[in-house]
Amino acid sequence: MKLENDLYLRALRRENTERTPVWLMRQAGRYLPEYRKVRAEAGDFMTLASTPEMACEVTIQPLERFPLDAAIIFSDILTIPDAMGLELYFEPGEGPRFNNPITDEADIKALPVPDADDLQYVMDAISLTTRTLNGRVPLIGFSGSPWTLLTYMIENGGSKTYAKSKALLYKSPELAHLLLDKLSRSIIKYLIGQIQSGASAVQIFDSWGGVLSPADFQTFSLHYMQQIVDGLKQAGFADTPVVLFSKGANQSLTAMSETGCHGLGLDWTINIDVAKTLTGDRVALQGNLDPATLYAPDAYIDQAVKQVLDAYGPGPGHVFNLGHGMQPDMDPDKVAVLVDAVRRHSSR
């Protein structure tokens, strides 16, 4: 399908664009009153995420408000552990939990490697959203990274210390590698299914890459993201842009840029010009305004956007985004200010 607006894909391929494309992590979410309405109708998060018509509706909602250059499918990074039999649910005020978290070696060895068919509701949501967008903008598919999924599966939710996950790495590295390899193979199948269903690009969210030392990041996170990038290429999807986003792993940006991915997401703790130097001209860069900037007055947001754009400079390969996701208490009007500022200040 020919896209009316392909700025995002051209930027990821480091082609010249008439302005810098912009989309935002968690752009479909709780800060929008129209999202909260659909979420209330669904009754719970998993019903919303697993009902293709609802997932499609909330994916497109931000595009009805703001002239964004990409949509990202509404889903969750923990769909794969759910498909492996861990039974994902969301505890109000607590976040994700599993009915069957991993507790021992036998659990890891028993885990299946699910096919894309085991997550058909995601494929159906992508197909429906692609048809509904009808070429308006690209649709982004995504997955959690193997390391990040491992932490949720071992900790049974989020963690401040990642003690159980790190204990697995150090006490039983062979078991950690077994689990990471199963997750990597699952993710390759999952992302292929998403691309075949209509996703124009895919992003891997390595939310907790930054809690590892640089050496452990290479061994337990980057190695498996490399496996995914290679797996997609070997399956014939080398032309589909892949973006890696490892929050807090700025010390490994050079190594990440050498994986063969098309783009790297950046958090807000590094200046984008520094990241550009570290990554050479190998990849596009996505980011990296501190999301908390959206609490500021409009004039401050405008200047903060301009600073990021000026720091990146005039060359190709920049996708404007936040350094992490939108927060539920943010004002949609501030997003309008941000998007307008990107469009004005980056017009070439």
Residue 27 annotated in ligand binding:
yes
| Catalytic residue chosen out of the listed positions 13, 19, 30, 282 | 30
Residue 262 annotated in ligand binding:
no
Q: Inform me whether the pLDDT recorded for 188 exceeds 90.
A: yes
The answer to whether residue 172 sits within a structural domain is yes
Name the pLDDT band for 7 (thresholds 50, 70, 90): very high
Residue 190 annotated in ligand binding:
no
Rounded distance between C-alpha atoms, residue 272 and residue 289, angstroms: 9
Q: Inform me whether the pLDDT recorded for 348 exceeds 90.
A: no
How many C-alpha atoms does 60 have within 13 Å on its Cβ side? 18
> Longest C-alpha distance within the chain, in Å?
58
Q: Inform me whether the pLDDT recorded for 93 exceeds 90.
A: no
Residue 347 annotated in ligand binding:
no
The answer to whether residue 178 sits within a structural domain is yes
Q: Please, what is the average pLDDT of the chain?
A: 97
The answer to whether residue 76 sits within a structural domain is yes
What pLDDT score was predicted for residue 262?
A: 98
Closest CA to 290 of 247, 244, 343, 243: 247
Distance of CA 320 to the CA centre of its chain: 14
Per the listing, tokens 């998993």 go with 46
Q: Inform me whether the pLDDT recorded for 257 exceeds 90.
A: yes
Q: Count structural domains, the chain.
A: 1
Instruction: Identify the weakest region by mean pLDDT among 49-53, 67-71, 87-91, 206-210.
Output: 87-91
Q: Inform me whether the pLDDT recorded for 1 exceeds 90.
A: no
Rounded distance between C-alpha atoms, residue 270 and residue 189, angstroms: 33
Tokens describing residue 135: 């070429």
The answer to whether residue 264 sits within a structural domain is yes
Give the range of the structural domain holding residue 170, as residue numbers without chain letter. 7-346
| Catalytic residue chosen out of the listed positions 8, 31, 35, 39 | 39
- What stretches of the chain adopt beta strand conformation (E)? 71-72, 88-91, 95-98, 139-144, 201-206, 242-246, 263-265, 284-289, 318-322
The answer to whether residue 88 sits within a structural domain is yes
Closest CA to 240 of 286, 188, 287, 280: 188
343 is catalytic: no
What pLDDT score was predicted for residue 91?
A: 83
Do residues 253 and 278 touch, judged by C-beta distance below 8 A? yes
Name the pLDDT band for 94 (thresholds 50, 70, 90): confident
Judged on CB neighbours under 10 Å (0-12, 13-18, 19+), 103 is exposed
19 is catalytic: no
30 is catalytic: yes
The answer to whether residue 258 sits within a structural domain is yes
Handedness of CA 321, 330, 53, 85 (dihedral sign): positive
| Catalytic residue chosen out of the listed positions 10, 26, 35, 118 | 26
| Catalytic residue chosen out of the listed positions 76, 82, 118, 302 | 76
The answer to whether residue 22 sits within a structural domain is yes
Residue 231 annotated in ligand binding:
no
Residue 215 annotated in ligand binding:
no
Do residues 55 and 123 touch, judged by C-beta distance below 8 A? no
Do residues 141 and 71 touch, judged by C-beta distance below 8 A? no
Q: Which amino acid is at 269?
A: T
CATH classification at residue 243: 3.20.20.210
Residue 200 annotated in ligand binding:
no
152 is catalytic: yes
Looking at the chain, the whole-number percentage of residues with pLDDT higher than 70 is 100
The answer to whether residue 1 sits within a structural domain is no
Q: Which amino acid is at 332?
A: P
312 is catalytic: no
pTM: 0.98
